[in-house]
Structure 1
C-alpha cells in the first residue's frame, strides 16, 4: 500500500471513530434531562456526607444541603477521623440546627476503603426513605434532593446519579476534569442503559448518588463494594446485578463540585479511580485507540494537510473527523456548563487522561496499591 493510500485509510478510520461519540452525544444530550420535583415531596431524604479533613469545604456543603426545598431532609456528616477541625465546624452548625447530625465514623475495618466504610456507617444512622450520598466538596441546589427522589419514584429506579457542574479554576483542572462528562456523554449508550439491567451498562458519579433505602439494604450498599475505590462504577453495577434499575440524569442544575485544586491533585484523584476504570490490560488499549484515532490524530492529519502532506480526499476526511471531534466536545461542554476556554484544550485533555491511565496500569505491577486521603489500599487484581 502506498503512503497516500495509507493516509487516506487512516483519515477514513479517524472519521468513523469520531462519528460514534458524536452520535452518542447527540442522542444522550437529548435524553439526559434535569428531573422535575414531585408536588408535596417524596418523603424524608437523608443527605449523607462522608468527610475526612474537609474543613475548607464542609460548612458551605452543609449549609447548602440544609437549604434543600421541596422535600424534608436530614443531613448527616460522617467525620472520618479528621485532624483539621472538620468535626468542630459541623458540631458548631449542629448546635443551631436539629436536622444536622455529626456522626463519628468508627475505625476503618480490615478489607474496607475509607469512603465506603463511612457511607455504610452513615446509611445505618439515617432515617430517610432515600439516601443521598454527596462528596464534601459538592454544593447542592435547593431542589436537588427533591428532584432526584422524585425521578427515582417516577421511574421506579433504585439508584439515580448525576454529574454535578464542575468548577475548574486552573489550567490543570481544565486539562483533566472535562473527561468525566466527555466519556459519559460520548461513550455511554444511555438509551440502552435504561432499557437493560446489564451490569456493564451501569454508570454513576460518586459525587452525587441517590439510592432507595430498601434497595440499598437489600443489595448490601457500600458494604457490597467495600474494597472499591470507585463507587461511581461499582455501586450501580452492584444494584443492576441484583435486578435493580439505575439511571443517570443531567446534573448541571442540581449541584456544583470543585473536585481538585490544580493539576497535582487532579492527577492523584483520577489515578485513584483509574484502578477500577479504564486502566486494565484489556480495556486500556481499546480506549487508547478510540480516543487517539477519534480525538487526537485528526488534528495531526489536518496539520499535515495544511503543510501539503495529504491528498485532497484524505484531507477532507481528516477535516471532517476534526470537525466531529470539536463539535462533540463543544456540545458537551456547553450542555454541562463547563468553561468554554477548555474546548480548544481537548486533544491535550485526551492525552493527559491517557497518560494517567497508562501510568496507573504500568505502575500497578510494581506498586500493587493505591493511596488516597492518607491511606493506602491494595489494588484488586494487582
Structure 2
C-alpha cells in the first residue's frame, strides 16, 4: 500500500512541475514598445480605495509608448476615494471620475462598475485594472502592441504579487501555482477552446471592437470572476485571448493579512474549484502531490516526490517574482487553499452568502 501511495504522490508532484516548465517556457514576456495611433483607456473600478487609488492613478498616468486616458468610477465609496481622484483630475486632464449608479438586480458590483467604465471609455483598447495594481510605465503600450501585432482580443497577466505577511504567503501564491501547473497551455492563445481560457481580473486589456462584439461586461453581469468569464466569452465568440508574463508589467498588493485573504478567496471560490464534482478531484491532485509526500517520509520515493513538489513551487515563485521566503510554506499554502475551497462549498450548500465591501453575494452569484 505504501509503495502505491508513493507512486501516486510522485506522479502527482511531477505532473505540475512538467506542465509549469512547459507553460513558463512558452509564456510571452512583453517588452517596451511604442504604439502610434492608439489610445489605451485605463479603467479603474474603485470602492473604498482611499489607501490605494492615488498611487494606482499616478502609475497609470505615467504610462509611456502609447497615449492613455485614465477613468476611475467611484462605486459608492464610504471613504475619501472620490475626493482624491477629483484632486488628481484637477492636475491632469487625462483623468476622469465617474460615479456609479445604484447596483441593478442580477449584477455583481465590480462587473457593473466595469460595464459603466467600458461605456465611457474613448480608447481603441480598454485596460481594466484593480485599484491596488501599479502599472509599470511600459505596460499599457506593450499589452496593446502585443494584441495588435498578434490579432489577440484579450491580453492578461498576473501582476507581481507583493506579499508582506504570513497570511498573504499562505494564500496569494496559489494563484500562479494553479495557472501554471494545472492549466494546459497556461492560457496561451493557441489553446483556443473556452475551457482552456484564463485571465487575471487585476490586469486585462481588451480590444474595443472585440469587447463590443462579445457584449462587454453586460454579457457576464452575474459573475465574480469577471476576467475568466470575459476570456471564455470572447473565445466562444471566435476571438483569441492570451496570458502573458504579468510580473514584468505591474505589481499588486491584494490583501494585508490572513483574514482579508481568506474572505477574498472565499468570495470567488464558487466560480473556481469549489464545485461538488470538481473539488474532490482538485483535492486529490493538490493534496496528493504536495502534502502526501510529507506523510510518506522517510521512504526514498517520498523524498523524490517532495523534491519535485518544491521544484515546482520554486520555479513558479521565481518566474512570478514572488518572495522566496514563501517557498518553505508550500504544503501549508496548499492545505489553506483546500480549506478555503471546502469551506466555500459547504457554505454554498447551506445557502450562505459571502460579503465583500458591504455587499453580499449568494452561491448563485446574484447581487
Aligned counterparts of 1:270 and 1:41: Cα–Cα separation in 2: 39
The verdict on how the C-alpha distance between 1:60 and 1:186 changes in structure 2, with shifts beyond 3 A counting, is same
Q: 1:370 offset after TM fit, Å?
A: 2.5
Instruction: With the length of structure 1 as denominator, give the TM-score of the two structures.
Output: 0.93
Q: Which has the larger radius of gyration?
A: 1
| Paired position in structure 2 for 1:18 | 13
Matched, 1:370 2:365: no
Picking from 351, 361, 378, the partner of 2:345 is 361
Contact 1:173/1:260 (8 A) holds in 2? yes
Aligned counterparts of 1:371 and 1:191: Cα–Cα separation in 2: 30
Aligned counterparts of 1:327 and 1:367: Cα–Cα separation in 2: 40
| Paired position in structure 1 for 2:335 | 351
| Paired position in structure 2 for 1:114 | 109
| Paired position in structure 1 for 2:181 | 186
Aligned length: 366
The verdict on how the C-alpha distance between 1:238 and 1:40 changes in structure 2, with shifts beyond 3 A counting, is closer
**1:200-239 alignment runs, 5 A limit:** 200-239=195-234
**1:132-281 alignment runs, 5 A limit:** 132-190=127-185, 193-281=188-276
Contact 2:188/2:243 (8 A) holds in 1? no
Q: Deviations over 1:12-38 (max 9, x none)?
A: 111111111011111111111321344
Deviates more, 1:36-45 or 1:47-56: 36-45
Instruction: With the length of structure 2 as denominator, give the TM-score of the two structures.
Output: 0.97
| Paired position in structure 2 for 1:340 | 324
Q: Deviations over 1:291-315 (max 9, x none)?
A: 011011011212xx2xxxxxxxxx2
- Structure 2, unmatched stretches of 5+, are none
| Paired position in structure 2 for 1:52 | 47
The verdict on how the C-alpha distance between 1:114 and 1:48 changes in structure 2, with shifts beyond 3 A counting, is same
Deviates more, 1:66-75 or 1:189-198: 189-198
| Paired position in structure 2 for 1:68 | 63
Dislocated runs of 4+, deviation >4 Å: none
**1:35-50 alignment runs, 5 A limit:** 35-41=30-36, 43-50=38-45
The verdict on how the C-alpha distance between 1:62 and 1:219 changes in structure 2, with shifts beyond 3 A counting, is same
- Structure 1, unmatched stretches of 5+, are 1-5, 306-314
